Chains A and B, each alone.
Chain A
């Protein structure tokens, strides 16, 4: 499975026409203790780069952007009762949504793991 990354620290795991989206370990560490996640409703469509979800730490609210355009298939209900999952397993159990991609070619513009690693080192 391909995993791609954005400069806003979202990850995208691709399986056919479906993309699972979350925030990276780096982002989760920067945010600190996540206390609330506002997820989009099923069926909502977002364009690449649009605000898709909000993640709240003790101190502040941060937007999460759609890394690719698509329609929300599923939102991770676990995060409603256990938002700390985002800190515990950001790139696994702490996923945010799955998207039915409307333009998979958008993935080409995102970073692979090595490129993202270098990007973070430069911050």
Chain B
């Protein structure tokens, strides 16, 4: 990390968190709320109502073609081609206002980060991309992107903004109360909307498996967040529940479930590589990745369901017949499942759903099964 460990940055919502009684921890160089009333209660509230997450530590930015955005579909193609040098997804083919999950790759096809890339909806904004990368990786990612695009585009940070996620079945009602037009958004769609003097980017996406929105709000919009929290359907949620929610939803955490040693095929993220990119074979590590798609990878990310009550944490060895065949990369307790849940990598011969495996939890063998992901069904608005 580029930040000094001794000095934690604060998001624009820091004072609000302290006012709400958050327990704060250092995370990705920022002082962030790990919990408010308690991880389990916050988790369940999000699944039943609406949770508000401060994710301002993340790396929102804009990549703009040299000469600025213009009312021309060709401008989108130009900027999309630049970022496609680093990611295996079809960015040129994004529709106006459409967002897509993708991964930054190294030359060996290893994952350097996962990120969401959005094409702006307004005609005059073509030639610009809205990109959100992980907080802990942002400086590294931005440097990589800047180096790659060279003089052809400019990357502008937006991590001075407030970035909040509203997630859960009540999120639509809460968000459309402020932005009626947000109702027309489907999953992975984005629109710029005004709230008073605040110009906000409203995206229908999230990291919990629930329907919900992410709002990029100018840094002077703290009062708007306070207003959102005043809604009785909304509660503030910390990083603890964010982790248990995304784990139940089968979503990856970079640095744990994804790292430079893993390809998208091994990570069970082959779906981020659209057909036209596979045919073009023009992304970093394409030879290796296409070979894995054709012939199968050696290891694969799967869901792991421990069969007793003991959670299996990251690093837990996964065994079959006394031989290690994998390792847990994320594990804990799923409050909605009301049981321990985990994800990990196993050799493909043991990756079939239902395969019985053994977890070595603190040296003690415990029964587990390969489970279908997600552990709780996604409630996305399609």
Identify the A interface with B (CB < 8 A).
Answer: 32-33, 35-36, 38, 54, 56-61, 80, 83
Contacts and interface: CB of A to CB of B under 8 A. Distances in A.
A56 B310 contact: yes
Contacts of B39: 32-33, 57-59
Contact of A59 (B309, B310, B332, B340): B332
Interface in B238-291: 240-241, 243-244
B40 interface: yes
Contacts of B240: 32, 58-59
Contact of B310 (A33, A38, A58, A60): A38
Interface in B19-48: 34-35, 38-40, 43
Contact of A61 (B35, B243, B311): B311
Given A32-B38, A33-B38, A83-B309, A58 B362 contact: no
- Dominant SS at the B interface? mixed
A102 B184 CA distance: 71
B335 interface: yes
Interface of B: 34-35, 38-40, 43, 240-241, 243-244, 309-311, 313, 332-333, 335, 340, 362, 364
Given A58-B335, A59-B244, A36 B309 contact: yes
Contacts of A35: 309, 311, 333, 340
B323 to A, nearest CB: 25
A14 B5 CA distance: 44
18 contacts: A32-B35, A32-B38, A32-B39, A32-B40, A32-B240, A36-B311, A38-B364, A54-B362, A57-B39, A57-B333, A58-B40, A58-B43, A58-B240, A58-B335, A59-B34, A59-B39, A59-B332, A83-B309
Nearest to A63: B362
Contacts of A61: 311, 313
A71 to B, nearest CB: 20
B27 to A, nearest CB: 12
Nearest to B40: A33
Given A32-B40, A58-B40, A61-B313, 17 more contacts: A32-B38, A32-B240, A33-B335, A35-B309, A35-B311, A36-B311, A36-B340, A38-B310, A38-B364, A56-B333, A58-B332, A58-B333, A58-B335, A59-B39, A59-B240, A59-B244, A61-B311
Interface centre among B34, B244, B333, B335 (most CB of A within 10 A): B333
Contacts of B309: 35-36, 80, 83
Interface centre among A57, A59, A80 (most CB of B within 10 A): A59
Contacts of B310: 36, 38, 56
B338 to A, nearest CB: 9
Nearest to B39: A58
B36 to A, nearest CB: 11
B46 to A, nearest CB: 13
A59 B362 contact: no
B243 A59 contact: yes
Contacts of A57: 39, 333
Contacts of B313: 60-61
Contacts of A60: 313
Contacts of A54: 362
Given A32-B40, A33-B40, A56 B311 contact: yes
B240 to A, nearest CB: 5
A35 B338 CA distance: 9
Contacts of A58: 39-40, 43, 240-241, 244, 332-333, 335
Nearest to A81: B309
A38 B240 CA distance: 22
A59 B38 CA distance: 11
A11 B64 CA distance: 61
A60 B240 CA distance: 10
B221 to A, nearest CB: 30
A106 B167 CA distance: 52
- A-B pairs, 8 with minimum CB distance: A33-B40, A35-B333, A58-B39, A58-B333, A59-B240, A36-B309, A56-B311, A32-B38
